[in-house]
Amino acid sequence: MHEAPRSGDARCPGVVLLHGIARTSASLKRLERALRATGFATLNIDYSSRKKPIAALADDIHPAIARFAERDAPLHFVAHSMGGLVARAYIARHRPAQLAGVVMLGTPNGGSEVADVLSGSRLYRAFYGPAGLELTTATRPDALPAVDYPVGVIAGSRFIDPVAGLLILPRPNDGRVSVQSSMLAGMADHIVIRASHTRLPRDAGAIEQTIAFLRDGRFRAR
């Protein structure tokens, strides 16, 4: 695991950023810059998303987050794709005392039908590893403990891959996760952005709504 340098004043609210499976912290750099520009301190973590089950990944990132949480300021999580499941597992296992809320972008809270189709493939298993097998609808990631903290969910409704978008996933979807699967019991708010799965954390509208939720606990009316 690589811990990106911390940024921001010790008095500023903190945001832990968690990338998705087979991605890196670089995929969240634009979002991180926007958060820093609006007064948040950030911790953008690289973790070995394909090497271990989700619960073990949550344990791996704990030391870095615990150090960041020593700032004694409100602590948020902003997570893309599977990163949202890692955030949920982390909070269930290592809940920070200063926890303020979570924003999930394209997180398969109800699993992904794409994972259902591909999980039987040896290539999929080899590439995505144990965590990839936890993304199916049969595994149901929403079996994680119920949320009792503010969660805002941003879903995408544009797909690039026509096979997944038209033939595999219920519509609307972002090409990897359906809007329905992004929903989570107990969430505080939900919004749909016209962006694809990989584009969501770089989309200007999604970034604006992320900041709105962190500040107000609600997405901005559109």
Whether 77 is covered by a domain: the verdict is yes
Mean pLDDT of 1-28: 82
Q: How confident is the model at residue 150 (pLDDT cuts 50, 70, 90)?
A: very high
Asked if pLDDT for residue 172 goes beyond 70, the answer is: yes
Can you give the pLDDT at residue 203?
99
Looking at this protein, which amino acid is placed at residue 1? Answer: M
Q: What distance in Å separates the CA atoms of residue 176 and residue 23, rounded to the nearest whole number?
A: 14
Q: What distance in Å separates the CA atoms of residue 211 and residue 194, rounded to the nearest whole number?
A: 18
In the chain, the N- to C-terminal Cα span, in Å, equals 38
Whether 27 is covered by a domain: the verdict is yes
Asked if pLDDT for residue 52 goes beyond 80, the answer is: yes
Q: Which two tokens stand for residue 82?
A: 């599977």
Whether 220 is covered by a domain: the verdict is no
Beta-carbon count within 10 A of 93 CB = 12
Can you give the pLDDT at residue 9?
64
Asked if pLDDT for residue 140 goes beyond 70, the answer is: no
The residue with greater pLDDT, 128 or 142, is 128
Beta-carbon count within 10 A of 176 CB = 27
Whether 221 is covered by a domain: the verdict is no
Asked if pLDDT for residue 2 goes beyond 70, the answer is: no
What residues contact 144, with CB distance under 8 A and at least 6 apart?
Answer: 85, 88, 89, 92
Residues β-bridged to residue 3: 45
Which CATH number belongs to the domain containing residue 141 in this structure?
3.40.50.1820
Whether 53 is covered by a domain: the verdict is yes
Can you give the pLDDT at residue 222?
74
* 60-101 pLDDT tens trace: 999 999 999 998 899 999 999 999 999 999 999 999 999 999
Whether 13 is covered by a domain: the verdict is yes
Asked if pLDDT for residue 5 goes beyond 50, the answer is: no
Taking all residues of the chain, what is their mean pLDDT, rounded to a whole number?
94
Can you give the pLDDT at residue 7?
57
What residues contact 121, with CB distance under 8 A and at least 6 apart?
Answer: none
Q: How confident is the model at residue 11 (pLDDT cuts 50, 70, 90)?
A: confident
The reported pTM is 0.94
* Owning domain of residue 145: 2-215
Whether 222 is covered by a domain: the verdict is no
Can you give the pLDDT at residue 4?
52
E strand segments, the chain: 2-3, 14-18, 41-46, 75-80, 99-105, 151-156, 189-193
Can you give the pLDDT at residue 35?
98
User: From residue 158, how far is each of 34, 194, 203 by CA, in Å?
Assistant: 23, 5, 12
Can you give the pLDDT at residue 6?
55
Q: How confident is the model at residue 163 (pLDDT cuts 50, 70, 90)?
A: confident
27-36, 113-122, 141-150: least confidently modelled range: 141-150
Q: What distance in Å separates the CA atoms of residue 216 and residue 201, rounded to the nearest whole number?
A: 19
What residues contact 48, with CB distance under 8 A and at least 6 apart?
Answer: 1, 57, 60
Whether 63 is covered by a domain: the verdict is yes
Q: How confident is the model at residue 133 (pLDDT cuts 50, 70, 90)?
A: very high
- Per DSSP, the three-state class of 221 is coil
Instruction: Please tell me the total count of domains within the chain.
Output: 1
